[in-house]
Every structure is written in C-alpha cells, then in structure tokens.
Structure 1
Amino acid sequence: MTQRMPDAVGTPDTRLIVVRGNSASGKSSVAAGLRERFGRNLAIVGQDNLRRNVLRERDRPGAANIGLIDLTARYALDSGFHVVVEGILYADRYGTMLRNLVRSHRGVSRCYYLDVPYAETVLRHATKGDAEYLAQVTPDDLRDWYREKDLLADPVETVVDAASTLEATVQRILRESGLDRVLPIDR
C-alpha cells in the first residue's frame, strides 16, 4: 500500500521552523526570541500549549495533540504566517507528523534540536519564574522525560549544543531559515 503524501501547505515564501529538545532546554525561549526579533506574522505552535492547556492531555503515542499541532501549523502556513513548531516532540511519537509537515511545506523548512545535558536542564528549569510550575515539575520529572539525542531520522536536524547562547541560537535560526531577509507583515 502506498502512503498518500499530505497536501502541499504554505507558499514558497513561508518559513517553517521546528525547535525540539528536552524539557528546559530553551525551546520556548528560542521561539519567543524569534518572534521578538522578527515581529508579527510569525505563529508559535507550542506543544505544551496545545497538549496541556487546550486539550489537557497526557503525552502518549497517538494522542490527539499530534494532529492538532499538525493542523494548527498547516492552517497558519496556509494563511501566510511563518511558523515555529516547538516542544519536546519525542521522535517516536511526533516524528511521522513532523516529517510529513516538512515534506508538504512549499517554502523553506528548518529543524533544530537543542542538545542540552540533563544537569543543565535542571539548572535552567530552576530559573523559571512560575513557582507553581516549579513545585509541580521536579528534577525527578525532568529525569523521567529526558531522552539523550532524540533526533529525527529524516529530516536531518541541526543540533544546537548547550554552549550556544539564546541570542546566538536565535540569530542562527533567523539566518539559516532566511527570516532575517523577510519583511514582517503588519497584521
């Protein structure tokens, strides 16, 4: 049986950026930094927001949030937005969806994996300003969720190590995706 390729999405001018990594590796900060530097017309499709806040769903194989992330990213791309999909997005659970999304995208797509050692994720986690979240998510939780180099097989991801500062990572993604040469649209 031949697998049907998902319909083409976005335009040749839209950018799709996937930022993955372990909890507290800096994914949300990178996404926020990209929006801050780029401006309007950049949609952030956050796994945590859709999975935890919208659906209040556990992260498990075949969960509904996988399709919702895909649908949301496709809708934003088809509406002319550049899109950053960010989250832990375990390769075994989200890999097929991410590969299909990247393959379907008509524009420039770039995937990044933030490779941060467990000890550093614990330090970064402790700097979060949400006391309630810090009380709920412990270093033991971080250890349970941690997967070393959980890379997608295809597309090839650019690995960004922990030595890269937030600013350097944001600038690199802007440059490599071409967002640094695209004018934002004031919506």
Structure 2
Amino acid sequence: MPRTTAPGNGGTRLVVVRGNSASGKSSVAAGIRDRFGRGLALVGQDNLRRTVLRERDVPGGANIGLIDVVARYALDAGYHVVVEGILYADRYGDMLAGLLRDHRGVSRCYYLDIPIEETLTRHSSKTDPDYLARVTELELRSWYRERDLLPGGVETVVGADSTLAETIDRVMRDTGLAGLPPRID
C-alpha cells in the first residue's frame, strides 16, 4: 500500500496518548483497544523503539520516523490508530504535528498529567520484578518532565484524579469511537 501525504480517510480516528513513565499511557491505549475491538491499531513507542529497533530514546532517533510510518500505514489501511508513549515534545513534536495535520479523519491528543510522587507510587505497583529492578526511582525522576505539552494547545490534559475507566470513556466519547463498530474481517 503506497504511503499518502494525507493518511486515513474521513472515518478514521487518530488518538495520541502521551505522558511520563508510569502515567498509565499503555493501560489507556490497551483499554481503548479492548473496548473498541478489531480495527484499532496500537502504535507503541516502547515497542517500536525498544523491541523492534533496540534503540535508546535520543533526539533524531530512527524510531521517530518508524512511529510516523506505521501510524500512517495503519490509517491508510482503514484502521483507527492509537499512538502512545512518553513522546517528549522536543523530540517527537514535529512528527506528531505532521501526522495530526495530515490525517484526514478525527484526531485527538491526550496528555496524562501525573505528579512525580503518584508516578513513583504507580511504578512501585508494577508486578514485573525484573522491570522494577531495571527501572529505578532515580531513573524515573531523571526521565520526568512536568507538563511536557505539545505546542498549540492540541492536547487534552488528563489529571491523576481521572480513573483508568473514566479516561478510556472520555477518549471513546471525544473521538467518536464509542459509536463506531469494530472491523468484522
């Protein structure tokens, strides 16, 4: 399928979920997909950067273009897309701005604004002991960026007072995904 400059169509939905480590981005993205069903692609920064490319998060990293290409490809194939990750504004902002500008359907961005202390609490509740041993409080603090919002006010800020279910409900409503059927094929 050839890449178009204007990905998707009037019926596709593009959702961007950003925030600090342990803010709940992956849980929100998985919840949206579970709620919607088939026909919604998850484009996870961690999967493409760490698993596919085994790349560190650096300015100009190859994963930035890969996230863009995968999201565009899925939109062109008729999938709704959720792009999720820390996606620092200074590194990923231009790519995200281009994707949002070019997408022909409904696009919405969400920033999970979770204070550092809540981030540490959420992180400590993870059940993978290997991950907890690898990712320390010191690392979480060094990665943390307070309100690292994209320019132009394009993001809906979701605070720590919004439960996982409430956040998923909000995204489903705001984007119109709640009223759309999943793919059958």
TM-score range relative to shorter protein: over 0.9
In structure 1, list runs of 5 or more residues that go unmatched: 1-5
Could you tell me which amino acid in structure 2 is paired with residue 133 of structure 1? Answer: Y
Matched, 1:164 2:162: yes
Deviations 1:115-153 (A, max 9, x none): 000000111111112111111001111000000000000
Aligned pairs (5 A) from 1:100-179 = 100-154=98-152, 156-179=154-177
> Structure 2 CA distance, aligned partners of 1:186 and 1:127?
36
TM-score, normalised to structure 1, is 0.96
The runs of 4+ residues in structure 1 deviating greater than 4 Å are: none
> Structure 2 CA distance, aligned partners of 1:186 and 1:49?
26
Q: Is residue 62–residue 93 contact of structure 1 (8 Å, CA) maintained in 2?
A: yes
Match of 1:27 in 2: 25
> Structure 1 CA distance, aligned partners of 2:35 and 2:106?
18
> Structure 1 CA distance, aligned partners of 2:109 and 2:93?
12
Q: 1:30 is paired with a residue of what secondary structure?
A: helix
> Structure 2 CA distance, aligned partners of 1:56 and 1:43?
21
Report how many residues are paired: 182
C-alpha displacement at 1:28, in angstroms?
0.0
Q: 1:86 is paired with a residue of what secondary structure?
A: strand
C-alpha displacement at 1:155, in angstroms?
5.6
> Structure 1 CA distance, aligned partners of 2:126 and 2:53?
23
User: Cα RMSD between the aligned structures?
Assistant: 0.9
> Structure 1 CA distance, aligned partners of 2:138 and 2:128?
18
C-alpha displacement at 1:36, in angstroms?
0.9
C-alpha displacement at 1:186, in angstroms?
2.1
Aligned pairs (5 A) from 1:2-81 = 7-81=5-79
In structure 2, list runs of 5 or more residues that go unmatched: none
Could you tell me which amino acid in structure 2 is paired with residue 77 of structure 1? Answer: L
